[in-house]
Amino acid sequence: MKIKIEKVVYPGKALGRGEDGIATFVEGALPDETVEVDILKNKKSFKEARLVSIIEPSALRIAPECPSFSKCGGCTFQHLAYGDQIEIKTAYIDELLSASGLPGIDVTPSPDLWGYRNKMEFSFFDEGKGLMVGLHRKGEFNRYFPVPPCLICDKDMIPALDAVLDFARASGLPCYDKRDNSGFFRHLVLRKAKGTNQLLVNLVTGNREGITPEFFKPLVEKLQNTTASFYWSVNAGVSDAVMADRLILLSGAEAIEEKIKVKGRGYSFLISPFSFFQTNTKGAEILYELAVDFIEPQKTDTVLDLYCGTGTIGITLAPFVDKVTGIELSEAAVKDAEKNRGRNNAVNVSFESGAVEKWVKLADKPHFNAVVLDPPRSGITNKVIDYISELKPEKIVYVSCNPATLARDLQLLKTGPGYEPVKAAAVDMFPHTYHVETVVSLRKKMIQG
């Protein structure tokens, strides 16, 4: 059917309508375009479709920089000039958060438009043309598209990727096949510390009898001048997630060092193979400055940092407050956070390992007058809402990677504990994709009379 596109909505899909007037969502179309689509899901109130052809193109449409765009699943918006990407992201954040009573939200552009990603996860695959490495094809979870090119990853990653692929092909060993849990080469994870120019390579394989670290010696030697840390991870499970049953350091340091500057102060963070760190380093500096500004820190503040990860927000906040306590599910992340605390002499910061939802139910917890929330994409839970109702902190800062669940949680915080969002801002950490990070400041609603 033919549809006329009205706008682009979160998460990056175009909304249009045909003659029946039913909302139809399709990826790859732009506002004011008339397009032909195939209907994939036909519900009573909406339809989901696949773009077939563009009948009347938008004046906004441009030629993408990357020849893989529209086939590779890594990017969403390369057919838009960057300024237009920012306008679309601003519009759908405003629409999602309008019910919260927030004024128009500014989206700060990324300092780097290309090569900004400091972490990439690639998959090995073989679709009848020999061993390759790449990213998921757009809209598909069991098929891949080869890399290079990739214009959003750090430029130093591509030579490392080429070297690993050459080695894998020369070895004669096959890629992993999850259908029967066979094969060897599974994933390649590359991480770059932008502040120090250090590169970490993590080659993830299946389990194969007889393979020892000696097997990788030619690759280690080839990369020794450009790689600061080289790991071999063995994942014998069937899950497609990047994980390790065994983690072997083949050469170099246990971690690479990232350096950032927030509010004029320098910070150093260690990044190991499975550490969390924002994928856009320069964008992270802007994001953390917003978090510090929005908490309006005082030297008497005691801050609870929920879903603290490796402690980046808590540590950058530490110089401005009395105490920070971070809570994080991942034990590995907490170990990294402890190391980062020491590196930055953040003596007023402590970390505890455990599920946030369980921690908030513990008895005899200290009081905090400020809370930082940085949850996963699914947002916060009712248990956290209930805890905030009991705690009654003076101020809350919510850092979100998903404006849809953020909008839901702001309503819950407003109707439950009674916190009003007073200001918000966003940072485009992910140019050419639909993702965006949003920071919201909340304060206790004043009771009139």
State pLDDT tens for residues 193-236: 999 999 999 999 999 999 999 999 999 999 999 999 999 999 99
254-302 pLDDT, tens per residue?
A: 999 999 999 999 999 999 999 999 999 999 999 999 999 999 999 999 9
| Residue boundaries of the structural domains of the chain | 1-61, 96-111+280-444, 119-257
Predicted confidence band of residue 181 (pLDDT cuts 50, 70, 90): confident
Same fold, 1-61 and 119-257: yes
In percent, the amount of the chain with pLDDT more than 90 equals: 91
Q: Which residues is 15 bridged to in the sheet?
A: 7, 25
- Strand pairing of 185-193 and 198-205? antiparallel
- Residue 401 catalytic? yes
What is the distance, to the nearest Å, from the Cα of residue 449 to the centroid of all Cα atoms in its chain? 44
3-class DSSP state of 217: helix
Q: Which one of the listed residues 72, 175, 308, 401 is annotated catalytic?
A: 401
133-148 pLDDT, tens per residue?
A: 999 999 888 899 999 9
Please name the residues in contact with 366: beta carbons below 8 A apart, sequence gap of 6 or more.
Answer: 302, 325
Asked whether residue 381 carries a pLDDT value surpassing 60, the answer given is yes
User: CATH assignment of 96-111+280-444?
Assistant: 3.40.50.150
| Whole-number pLDDT of residue 140 | 87
Asked whether residue 448 carries a pLDDT value surpassing 50, the answer given is no
Asked whether residue 447 carries a pLDDT value surpassing 60, the answer given is no
| Whole-number pLDDT of residue 348 | 98
Dist CA 228 CA 190 (whole Å): 11
Asked whether residue 449 carries a pLDDT value surpassing 50, the answer given is no
Dist CA 12 CA 261 (whole Å): 31
Kindly report the average pLDDT of the chain as a whole number. 95
| Whole-number pLDDT of residue 141 | 82
Q: Which residues is 352 bridged to in the sheet?
A: 327
Q: What is the largest CA-CA distance in the chain?
A: 78
| Whole-number pLDDT of residue 241 | 86
* Average pLDDT value for residue range 309-334: 96
Q: Count Cβ neighbours within 10 Å for each residue of 172-193 and write b for 16 or more, e otherwise.
A: ebebbeeeeeebbbbbbbbbbb
Number of neighbours of residue 287 by Cβ within 10 angstroms: 26
141-172 pLDDT, tens per residue?
A: 889 999 999 999 999 999 999 999 999 999 99
Topology adopted by domain 1-61: OB fold (Dihydrolipoamide Acetyltransferase, E2P) (2.40.50)
Tell me the whole-structure pTM to 2 decimals.
Answer: 0.94
CA distances in angstroms from 115 to 74, 150, 268, 279, 430, listed in the order given: 13, 8, 22, 11, 11
User: CATH assignment of 119-257?
Assistant: 2.40.50.1070
In the structure encoding, which two tokens stand for residue 429, read together? Answer: 């950490």
In the structure encoding, which two tokens stand for residue 47, read together? Answer: 């339809």
| Whole-number pLDDT of residue 101 | 87
| Whole-number pLDDT of residue 180 | 86
Q: Cα torsion at 224, 229, 232, 238 (round to 10°)?
A: -130
